[in-house]
Amino acid sequence: MEKTLKRYFLVFVAPTLIAFAFAFIVPFVMGIYLSFCKFKTITDAQFIGFQNYVRIFGDSDFLNALWFTVRFSVLSILTINVFAFLLALALTRKIKGTNLFRTVFFMPNLIGGIVLGYIWQQIINAVLLQYETTLVANAAYGFWGLVLIMNWQMIGYMMIIYIAGLQNVPSDVLEAAQIDGANGWQTLIRVKLPLVMPSITICLFLTVSNSFKLFDQNLALTAGAPGKRTAMLALDIYNTFYGRSGYEGVGQAKAVLFFIIVAIIALTQLAATRRREVEA
Amino acid sequence: MKKRILSVLLCLAMTVGILTGCSKGDNSGTQNSNETSNQESQSQSDSGGNQGASQQKGRVYYLSFKPESDRVWQDLAAQYTQETGVPVKVVTAASNTYEQTLMSEIANAEAPTLFQVNGPIGYESWKDYCADLKDTKLYSWLLDKDLAITGEDGGVYAIPYVVEGYGIIYNEAIMDKYFEMDGAKVADMDDIKNFATLKSVVEDMQAKKDKLGIKGVFASTSLTPGEDWRWQTHLANIPVYYEYTDKGITDTDALEFTYAKNFKNIFDLYLNNSITKPGLLGNKSVDDSMAEFALGQVAMVQNGNWAWSQIAGIEGNTVKEDDVGFLPIYTGVEGEENQGLCVGTENYFCINSKASKEDQEASIAFVEWLFSSPTGKRAVVNDLGMIAPFNTFADEEKPNDPLAREVLDDMEDEDTEVIPWYFTSFPSIRFKDNFGAALLEYAAGSKDWEDVTKQVVDDWAAEKAAVQ
């Protein structure tokens, strides 16, 4: 059996491997190479060394976008996970219609980001109309709008993961805790939380990477307005690449830098939460 | 059982989510393409056998700029293929995505053979792809050879194919109603010859707007990002024109924005006498403004002759063709009584120099057909409503919509001083976007006018330096 598997290893893996190489590895390597080039279209690139990376910091766009993204991410990661966990707790109790509620909360996740952004833009603008202002009048509106959309969209998904985690907490452990006289709060903090740590790892990873890479919602909701003050990193990269003549290489360099930042943050977070995972 | 059905449904729903997620990348633009297949056209030309198309046919791929005239271009392409057998493909970039679309399309093997740039700045970024058009008939037809963009080597690399004009479009019916009222500031549209008169009339009209049956004098000053070009580009042309004229230049690395207060004059007039409160302008688009005008809710809107089709095409349109007129944009500059409309071009044809020889020749032939054959000319004048700057058009072949006629009148009238489009020398899209954003904040009350002017001056210098 083992031998046969080994013999056919290539046959089974090759299609996926080739697809992966073409769709991911080749563009990725090309992208890194292009970040060291001056180019208009990717077919006429000319190597220029680290110049693009220096030019990233020629104006404050990238740093502003980074700061905005960090603020947005921290806030939305916290709120999404807290709310998702609370919902999961509520919906793992034996109340009527939990399945219906779970589906309802999950629904927003099925709507595409662009559509969602435009819908919420209409909603928020309709509310702001009362105060004779619009979403793009103040950067703070855009910020809170984004946090709101992101919460609305992501909470359901994270909730499902937390529900799965909570349902996997063995009932004998819970009963033991009850017999030992632990109250609800103590059970939650000392028993349930450590046991759903794997779910927390996954949810944190998903929210961190999704918040940092957010693009569609950002584009549809404010497109960075007013000015560029609500532009997040992905949008800034897009604008640099397409919106400024002669800055294609700089946009590419920003993208590489962006990749490194997201990779470092996500890996640190994974390592940190992994260490806290325990077996029941 | 019930649970199973639910989980299957959930699974399905999730897959749908994943699938729609994947296709997201494609819906960035509404691209319509219409490629008459090569074989089909071949057989048609064999049977039709006109124009004597050569054996070595190239193909034409035009990347069009204006979504509103996509249909006309598609029809033209099909017609040309029918007449000559040369396949023509027209793809229209979604509004505001022309540069992006061109950038990705031109890297393809089947790259556009015919594309357009918006002026010297656009040419600068695409010059490696522009073929020399000095020896083409198209260039020889050009009425004013100075309009074409020439390279440092003296070659002609981009040829304008349309002349347009803009100003303040007004609704004569509403104006007449005002002129008949007691205490009207002036008696006739011709009496409005400068900013002071315009201002007094507009403010008086705004005060009497209920009696006039309008909701405001001016249509919404659309300031949504991407919808603000009427201000950060078109309106900004006027102060820049006066500054350039004072200095006797046509481009500069350092704009002083000496006529900033004139920009503010007219911009404030737009904001304060509008159908929409200034705080809400970040939510208005050009389409909104044109609809307000077409429905007779406002008396004036700043736009160009291309807007006629838009006005005429809006459902419930109450503006009659005879009632539409053009007023120059007065800003309170000394001696502006003779000022005319802003007339110029931002549409230049370029031939992709990296396409094969046959394709380049086919593309030139297509454009020449467009501006010289009866079919092509009819489409240009009637369907596209373009004022083409070529001598192949006889006098009776000029467009006859009310706005285009006024532009032509202004160009021919020796007493009025037509303002050229100097905004083609604006440093970059980024400069314009930043300017638009600043205007939005100014309108919303969160930015001082001093900060706006300072930003314009700083940005101009920074962007001019960055582009070089």
For A17-64, write each residue's pLDDT tens digit. Answer: 999 999 999 999 999 999 999 888 777 788 998 999 999 988 788 999
CATH class of the domain comprising A57-274: mainly alpha
CB atoms B225 and A114 under 8 Å? no
* Range B411-415 average pLDDT: 83
Output the pLDDT for position A19: 93
Contacts of A117 in chain B (CB under 8 A): none
Mutate to test the interface with A, among B5, B115, B227, B433 (most CBs of A within 10 A): B433
Where do the structural domains in chain B lie, given as residue ranges?
31-163+345-393, 165-344+410-467
Contacts of A214 in chain B (CB under 8 A): none
Q: What is the pLDDT of residues B196-231, one digit of tens each?
A: 999 999 999 999 999 999 999 999 999 988 889 999
User: Closest partner residue to B225 among A133, A216, A225, by Cβ?
Assistant: A225
Local structure of A229: helix, strand or coil: coil
Output the pLDDT for position B113: 95
CB atoms A132 and B280 under 8 Å? yes
A32 has a chain B CB within 8 A of its CB: no
Output the pLDDT for position B268: 96
Local structure of A227: helix, strand or coil: coil
CATH superfamily of B31-163+345-393: Periplasmic binding protein-like II (3.40.190.10)
Ranges for all domains in chain A classified under CATH 1.10.3720.10: 57-274
Q: Which residues contact A41 (CB under 8 A, 6 or more apart)?
A: B103, B104, B106, B107
pLDDT at B24 > cutoff 80: no
Contacts of B280 in chain A (CB under 8 A): 129, 132-134
- Asked if this assembly's ipTM is beyond 0.85, the reply is no
Determine what percent of chain A is predicted with pLDDT higher than 90: 55
Output the pLDDT for position B145: 85
User: Closest partner residue to A43 among B107, B125, B440, by Cβ?
Assistant: B107
Pick the more confident residue, B190 or B46: B190
Burial pattern B100-122, b for ≥16 Cβ within 10 A else e, equals: bbbbebbeeeebbbbbbbbbebb
Residue of chain A with shortest Cα separation from B127? A40
Mean pLDDT value across chain B: 85
Q: Show the low-confidence residues of chain A (pLDDT under 50).
A: none
CB atoms B279 and A224 under 8 Å? no
pLDDT band of residue B274 (cuts 50, 70, 90) is very high
Q: What is the dihedral of CA A119, A122, A127, A128, to 10 degrees?
A: 130
CB atoms A133 and B279 under 8 Å? yes
Residue of chain A with shortest Cα separation from B10? A103
Determine what percent of chain B is predicted with pLDDT higher than 90: 53
Q: Which residues contact B305 (CB under 8 A, 6 or more apart)?
A: B164, B165, B166, B326, B385, B387, B401, B403, B404, B406, B407
Output the pLDDT for position B13: 52
Q: How far apart are CA A126 and CA A128, in angstroms?
A: 6
H-run or E-run covering A188: none
Both tokens of residue A262? 């997201």
Give pTM, 2 decimals: 0.78
CB atoms A227 and B438 under 8 Å? yes
B31-163+345-393 shares its CATH topology with B165-344+410-467: yes
Mutate to test the interface with B, among A40, A104, A238 (most CBs of B within 10 A): A40
Residue-wise DSSP of A92-150 = TSS-TTHHHHHHHHHGGGGS-HHHHHHHHHHHHHHHHGGGT--GGG-HHHHHHHHHHHH
CB atoms B441 and A226 under 8 Å? yes
Output the pLDDT for position B54: 44
Contacts of B115 in chain A (CB under 8 A): none
Output the pLDDT for position A280: 57
A161 has a chain B CB within 8 A of its CB: no
Q: Which residues contact B370 (CB under 8 A, 6 or more apart)?
A: B76, B80, B376, B377, B379, B380
pLDDT band of residue B468 (cuts 50, 70, 90) is low
User: Closest partner residue to A41 among B103, B280, B283, by Cβ?
Assistant: B103
- Smallest CA–CA distance, residue B17 to chain A, in Å, is 5
* Range B341-365 average pLDDT: 92
Local structure of A28: helix, strand or coil: helix
- Smallest CA–CA distance, residue B465 to chain A, in Å, is 12
Pick the more confident residue, A33 or B50: A33
Output the pLDDT for position B435: 94
Q: Is the distance from CB of A219 to CB of A233 less than 8 angstroms?
A: no
Beta strands B324-327 and B164-171, pairing class:
antiparallel
* Range B332-354 average pLDDT: 92
- Smallest CA–CA distance, residue B213 to chain A, in Å, is 24
Q: Domain B165-344+410-467: give its CATH code.
A: 3.40.190.10
CB atoms A226 and B440 under 8 Å? yes
In chain A, % helix, strand, coil (3-state, to 5) comes to 80, 0, 20
User: Closest partner residue to A227 among B24, B121, B434, by Cβ?
Assistant: B434
Local structure of A205: helix, strand or coil: helix
- Smallest CA–CA distance, residue A110 to chain B, in Å, is 5
Q: Which residues contact B4 (CB under 8 A, 6 or more apart)?
A: none
User: Closest partner residue to A137 among B104, B124, B282, by Cβ?
Assistant: B282
- Smallest CA–CA distance, residue B435 to chain A, in Å, is 9
Residue of chain A with shortest Cα separation from B2? A99
Q: What is the pLDDT of residues B227-255, one digit of tens each?
A: 899 999 999 999 999 999 999 998 899 99
pLDDT at B55 > cutoff 60: no
pLDDT at B147 > cutoff 90: no
Output the pLDDT for position B259: 95
